[in-house]
């Protein structure tokens, strides 16, 4: 599962790393330390052969859905069998996206009453690309653009904490993931694998991250 993530790099750093056009509405200017489901976030897509950022709501609402509230249950998409699932098979072919992040949180639950938050990031400290899907929902009166983050089995670092992890794309694979001419799942499913654990690190953080109202740098500060 991936239920919270962080974006703290500057717009200039992210433009250099991901090559998107300069946003016109100030998106990605402010650091975010506790991004949560149902919130709006700028997602990286390709439009007319250009990488652009588009504001979307976290929680996928399939175009055919009758009720947009389904998005609350669709913050993640399991990679296993994703090409066959009604909610994801069309976006997998036509609407793949990247969610830019500097890190993400997961909670260890050693017993029924205890939840210990951990922060995960790359050892390099660099921002990275989470594999995602997006969709457009329109019932005539309301239009929504929404996204979901794809998850896979955990690597060795993640496994003691949780049984799922978000798919982190290798930099060399990002162009293939965003290539709109590739519609055959055979060429993109191999990208949905656990990221090497020896290139990542994690540490405990404060329980202030439990509340999405706390969107402050202290959320990613290590604690004993």
pLDDT one-digit tens code per residue, 201-212: 999 999 999 999
Mean predicted confidence (pLDDT) in 104-114: 91
Mean predicted confidence (pLDDT) in 27-33: 81
pLDDT tops 70 at residue 52: yes
pLDDT at 28: 61
Confirm whether 106 is a catalytic residue: yes
Q: Enter the pTM of the model.
A: 0.96
Task: Confirm if 31 and 100 have CB atoms less than 8 A apart.
Answer: no
Domains defined for the chain, CATH in brackets: 5-106+125-199 (3.90.1680.10)
Q: Which of 2, 97, 174, 219 is catalytic?
A: 2
Q: Which of 97, 106, 174, 219 is catalytic?
A: 106
Element (H, E) at 176: helix 174-178
Helix residue ranges per DSSP H, the chain: 11-18, 89-94, 174-178
Mean predicted confidence (pLDDT) in 153-172: 97
Region of poorest pLDDT, from 29-33, 57-61, 155-159: 29-33
């Amino acid at each position: 599962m991936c239920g919270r993530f962080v974006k703290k790099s500057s717009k200039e750093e992210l433009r250099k790393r991901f090559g998107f056009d300069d946003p016109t509405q100030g998106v990605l200017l402010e650091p975010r330390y506790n991004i949560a489901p149902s919130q709006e976030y700028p997602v990286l897509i390709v439009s007319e052969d250009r990488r652009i950022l588009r504001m979307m709501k976290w929680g996928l609402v399939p175009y055919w859905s009758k009720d947009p509230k389904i998005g609350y249950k669709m913050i993640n998409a399991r990679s296993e069998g994703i090409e066959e699932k009604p909610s994801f098979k069309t976006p997998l072919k036509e609407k793949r996206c990247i969610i830019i992040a500097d890190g993400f949180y997961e909670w260890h639950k050693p017993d029924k009453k205890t939840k210990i938050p951990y922060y995960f990031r790359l050892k390099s400290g660099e921002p990275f690309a989470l594999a995602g899907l997006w969709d457009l929902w329109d019932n005539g009166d309301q239009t929504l653009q929404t996204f979901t983050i794809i998850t896979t089995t955990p690597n060795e670092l993640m496994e003691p904490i949780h049984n799922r992890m978000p798919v982190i794309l290798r930099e060399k694979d990002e162009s293939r993931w965003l290539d709109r001419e590739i519609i055959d799942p055979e060429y993109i499913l191999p990208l949905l694998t656990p990221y090497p654990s020896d290139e990542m690190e994690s540490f405990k953080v404060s329980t202030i991250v439990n509340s999405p109202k706390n969107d402050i740098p202290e959320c990613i500060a290590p604690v004993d």
